[in-house]
Amino acid sequence: QQQVKQSPQSLIVQKGGISIINCAYENTAFDYFPWYQQFPGKGPALLIAIRPDVSEKKEGRFTISFNKSAKQFSLHIMDSQPGDSATYFCAASRLKAAGNKLTFGGGTRVLVKP
């Protein structure tokens, strides 16, 4: 059972454009929602994360929007750059559950064209 659904699977955007990736979750007990960035052949690295007590969090060109009632959250990459070309994963976890296990979405491959 896939508890975090991510879309689209791939995305092509022109340099300077906005990349938008969406995730939907089922488990209302989730209370931590990170986004990871992964370059080919490398391990994922935390990009930005949000807790459900806020509706938006911005760090530089990256913004998470969170809609608790809809059980959805999204990543916006503003002014996309070729160096942003990577695979992005959303994830969710229950912070106080044993192991603090992350459940990942399927990933979105983003290509930023110069």
Partner 1 sequence: DGGITQSPKYLFRKEGQNVTLSCEQNLNHDAMYWYRQDPGQGLRLIYYSQIVNDFQKGDIAEGYSVSREKKESFPLTVTSAQKNPTAFYLCASRGQAFSSYEQYFGPGTRLTVT
Q: Report how far apart the first and last C-alpha atoms of the chain are (Å, whole number).
A: 38
Identify the CA nearest to 7 among candidates 23, 18, 25, 19: 23
Q: Which amino acid is at 40?
A: P
**Least distance to partner 1 from the beta carbon of 40, Å?**
10
63-102 residues in contact with partner 1 (CB under 8 A) are 89, 93, 95-96, 98-102
Please give the residues from 29 up to 58 whose contact with partner 1 meets the rule CB under 8 A. Answer: 32, 34, 36, 41-46, 49
Tokens of 103: 């459940």
- Residues lying near partner 1 in the complex (CB under 8 A): 4, 6, 9, 32, 34, 36, 41-46, 49, 89, 93, 95-96, 98-102, 104-107
